Structure 1
Amino acid sequence: MTVSTATGPLRPRVRFTGLARLSPRAGVVASASLIFILVMSLVLPAVTGYGPDQFVDLPYQAPSLAHPFGTDGFGRDVMVRTFAASRVDYLIPLLIVAISVIIGCVVGVAVTLIGGFAEWIMMRVTDAIIAFPFLILILALVVVFGQTVNVPFLPNGTIPIIVAVVLTGWAYYARLARSQTLSLREMDYITAARIMGYSTARIVFRHITPKVLGASVSYAIGDLIVVMGLIASLSLFGAGIAPPTAEWGQMMFEGRSVLDQYWWVTVFPLLFIIVSAVSLAAIAERLVARLEGRTQ
């Protein structure tokens, strides 16, 4: 994830400056790529006539006109499954990061305005959370919840991942929110709000948190890349999204043992992860450039 200091999280910025300089519209191209993948994940089953979990041909059929990405070991169309997996690999990280950002920003702003012992406690709690290996927490939650927890609109195996990453991820945004609030709380309009008798809750939610959220956007997009890679890698530990749900990490895990013969089962999901990560990084770069008041 990130490394923090006493003044706030020291986040490595995901920058593809060379990509941004090659084209001033790199952010537009990156956004279009992500939207195209998501649209195809919805349209492709209707066009082909079969879904991501449907057996459509013999196992391990090479890429062809009938199946451009080939078939996997169960005879399922790899192209349909690869596009369908984007719904999981995009939306679950987005949900995780959104929850972490909201909790972290609200807590960080509130305790910094309150100050004193509450602020000290928050700093010590975030120190402990950041130091804790969250991968162990995820594996522990998988043992407790299992991969068969049924929640509407979410694939099996998602709950332990969401809970574990949010439990650790909010601390980084609380640190970031604290560093932002330390400078904002001395602004004249905050002082005026206090003089007028506005409650701390009103100052937190109406005057400071919106500004802190804006400053956290570029960092949140960088975290989307991290969480996306985390979800894909968890399949190696048996803690990822439960099959047969189409998910890029699970697809690569299923094709790892036959990579030398049936490369397409693993290569196409890997390519989509790379394209998605580069696209998100390019979008983050453009946002950082705007926040810093410079043009690429």
Structure 2
Amino acid sequence: MTLTPAHRAATLPFRLAAQGLAAPAALKLGAAISLAWLFLALAAPLVAPYDPIAQDLEQTLRHPGWAHWLGTDNFGRDVLSRIIWGARFDLAMGLLGVIVPFILGSAIGLVAGYFGGLVDTLLMRLLDITISFPFFVLVIAIISVLGAGLASFFIAVALVGWVSYARLIRSQTLVLKHSDFVLAARNLGYSRRRIMARHILPNAVLPAVVFSMSDVVLTILLGSSLSYLGLGVQPPAAEWGVMIAEGQTFLATAWWISFFPGLAIVTLALGFSLLADGLAETLGIRE
């Protein structure tokens, strides 16, 4: 018997437990990296050796050593502690920045695909208008209007980032609404809301879930880039993009100020990318 995507998702934990070491290497490695960063972010008050914003002008621009494993910056702040605390900002931007676009885009795509006709035409024209502008430029324009800060970042991403999810869910819904189990549900007199929520959405949402793992990477990179430009998280907060911007003046003499936050971004992005690839392979979904 061929399992639907919803059935494969429901049995995923049991199949991974049964497969053990046979689980995709990308999934295991990606989960390990992502969970490690999540642990550091949650345990930052216990793990970080120093206050991330406390200045010690007698310890400015110290090379990596025993007292400060990753060195200090131009204000004497411990780079390792700032990276650990910064994981909170970057994970929040990546994870929370995907949730609203995921929900909004899924709802729009489901309604457009199921009802079709004028509803589909109007919603897809809204989608076309949104994607007609470069994503990064549109986000910067919205933040410029709202003002720099984390709240503005989340609003801008929510207003722009729903497009990909709407397209994915709509394409899946267009196929699923003509499937036998949906036609059977209609013949049994089920309401449209029940058919959409309990029969179509669980089978249509998995490609969007897999894509969301990759979207977390893009959102983290976007958030760090905006913070680097001064439009995201504001100094003296310990955020990786802010740290890279603050350290660029000292690249020739104190390379570690920018290098280690950049390395943190790369490893976190790698973790979620591998997680997306492994999840897609496990569920049999092509991204």
TM-score, normalised by the number of residues in structure 1 = 0.83
Aligned to 2:99: 98
> Residue 38 of structure 2 corresponds to which residue in structure 1?
38
Does the C-alpha gap of structure 1 residues 226 and 48 become closer, same or farther in structure 2, counting only changes over 3 Å?
closer
Aligned equivalents of 1:274, 1:292: Cα separation in 2: 27
Q: Residues 188 and 227 from structure 1, CA distance in 2 versus in 1: closer, same or farther, beyond 3 angstroms? A: same
Is structure 2 residue 72 aligned with structure 1 residue 80? no
**1:237 aligns to what?**
229
Q: Which residue of 2 aligns with 1:116?
A: 117
Deviation at 1:126, TM superposition (A): 0.6
Q: How does 1:122-133 map to 2 (within 5 A)?
A: 122-133=123-134
Specify the SS of the correspondent of 1:202. helix
Using the size of structure 2 for normalisation, the TM-score is 0.85
**Greater Cα offset, 113-122 or 39-48:** 39-48
1:239–1:186: structure 2 CA closer, same or farther, 3 Å change rule? same
**Structure 2 stretches lacking a partner, 5+ long:** 1-22
After superposition, give the CA deviation of every residue in 1:17-67 in whole Å (9 maximum; x if it has no partner). Answer: xxxxxx953322222222222323343543555321122552211111111
Superposition map of 1:249-264 within 5 A: 249-264=241-256
CA distance in 2, matches of 1:48, 1:119: 51
Deviations 1:109-144 (A, max 9, x none): 112211110001111111111112333333333333
Equivalent in the alignment of 2:55:
55
Specify whether residues 74 and 293 from structure 1 end up closer, same or farther in structure 2 by C-alpha distance, changes over 3 A only. Answer: closer
Q: Which residue of 2 aligns with 1:27?
A: 27
1:198 counterpart SS class = coil
1:207-239 deviation digits (Å, cap 9, x = unpaired): 212222222122111111111111111134321
Aligned length: 263
Distance 1:267 1:133 in 2: 29
Bigger fraction of residues in helix: 2
Q: Residue 184 of structure 1 aligns with which residue?
A: 176
C-alpha deviation, 1:246, in angstroms: 1.2
Q: Percent identity?
A: 38
Letter aligned with residue 72 of structure 1: D
RMSD after superposition: 2.0
CA distance in 2, matches of 1:199, 1:31: 39
Task: Tell me, yes or no, if the aligned pair for 1:101 and 1:213 is still in contact at 8 Å.
Answer: no
Q: Secondary structure at the match of 2:178?
A: coil
Question: Any unmatched runs of 5+ in structure 1?
Answer: 1-22, 148-156
Q: State whether residues 248 and 270 of structure 1, in contact with CA within 8 Å, keep that contact through their aligned partners in structure 2.
A: yes
